[in-house]
């Protein structure tokens, strides 16, 4: 026969919660009151690395403030990035990349349906999207790539 042994009562030790400083009312504000949000449309050949270089921003640095956020997209909208202004002054700004998202094509199926010898390209901020046959621009100034592709597909059907 086994005998049961009773252990001495275990003394529970409750550790006190660490104390943290409390946020003061003066430290909380609407973001719009403390920083600006900007958007920049850059050329298609601009890299995210270039955006993080202080030499990229001197012509607009005087408009920026510490803690500002800048959303950036190239003209063809192939990606989107968000940057934070860490420091700025006369003719310089130091930004850090918060996130970058590569965006899928808006209408990939229409690009595949283009007739042979035709391409759809972004022609710059003035001419926007256009349809080319070889190097000849057939028509330009479409707002989106999908709109341009649909135009040539419909034009060749008629």
Verify that 83 and 123 share a domain, yes or no: no
Q: Which two tokens stand for residue 116?
A: 């042979």
Whether this prediction's pTM lies above 0.85 is answered by no
- 3-class DSSP assignment, residue 56: helix
Q: Are residues 112 and 153 in the same domain?
A: yes
Q: Identify any residues that bridge with 71 across adjacent strands, giving them in sequence order.
A: 39, 82
81-121 pLDDT tens trace: 999 999 999 999 999 999 999 988 666 556 667 778 888 88
Specify the pLDDT at position 107: 61
Q: What is the mean pLDDT of residues 10-25?
A: 86
Domain containing 153 equals 108-157
Please list, residue by residue across 44-60, b when 16 or more beta carbons sit within 10 angstroms of its beta carbon and e when fewer do.
Answer: eebeeeebeeeebbeee
Residues 92 and 128 in one domain: no
Q: What CATH number corresponds to the domain at position 58?
A: 2.40.240
Residue 58: inside a domain, yes or no?
yes
Confidence bin at 16 (pLDDT 50/70/90): confident
* 148 and 115 housed in the same domain: yes
Residue 50 maps to a domain: yes
Whether residue 7 is predicted with pLDDT greater than 70 in this model: the reply is no
- Assess contact for 84 and 95: CB atoms under 8 A: yes
Question: How many separate domains does the chain show?
Answer: 2
Whether residue 89 sits in one domain with residue 119: no
Give the integer Cα–Cα distance in Å for 26 and 63: 26
- Token code pair at residue 37: 């949000």
CB atoms within 10 A of CB 153: 15
pLDDT at 109: 58
3-class SS of residue 35: coil
Same domain? 95 vs 115: no
Most confident of 95-104, 122-131, 135-144: 95-104
Answer yes or no: are the C-beta atoms of 58 and 92 closer than 8 Å: yes
Model confidence pLDDT, tens digit, residues 18-55 = 899 999 999 999 999 999 999 999 998 999 999 999 99
3-state percent helix, strand, coil for the chain, nearest multiple of 5: 20, 30, 45
């Amino acid at each position: 026969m086994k005998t049961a042994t009773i252990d001495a009562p275990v003394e529970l030790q409750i550790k006190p919660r660490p104390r943290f400083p409390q946020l003061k009312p003066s430290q909380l504000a609407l973001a719009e009151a403390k920083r600006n949000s900007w958007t920049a449309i850059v050329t298609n050949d601009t890299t995210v690395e270039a955006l993080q270089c202080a030499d990229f921003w001197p012509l607009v640095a005087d408009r920026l403030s510490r803690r500002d956020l800048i959303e950036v997209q190239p003209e063809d909208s192939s990606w989107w990035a968000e940057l934070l202004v860490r420091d700025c002054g006369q003719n310089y700004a130091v930004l850090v990349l918060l996130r970058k998202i590569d965006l899928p094509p808006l209408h990939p199926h229409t690009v595949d349906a283009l007739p042979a010898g035709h391409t759809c390209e972004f022609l710059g901020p003035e001419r926007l999207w256009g349809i080319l046959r070889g190097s000849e621009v057939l028509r330009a100034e479409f707002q989106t790539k999908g709109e341009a592709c649909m135009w040539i597909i419909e034009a060749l059907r008629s």
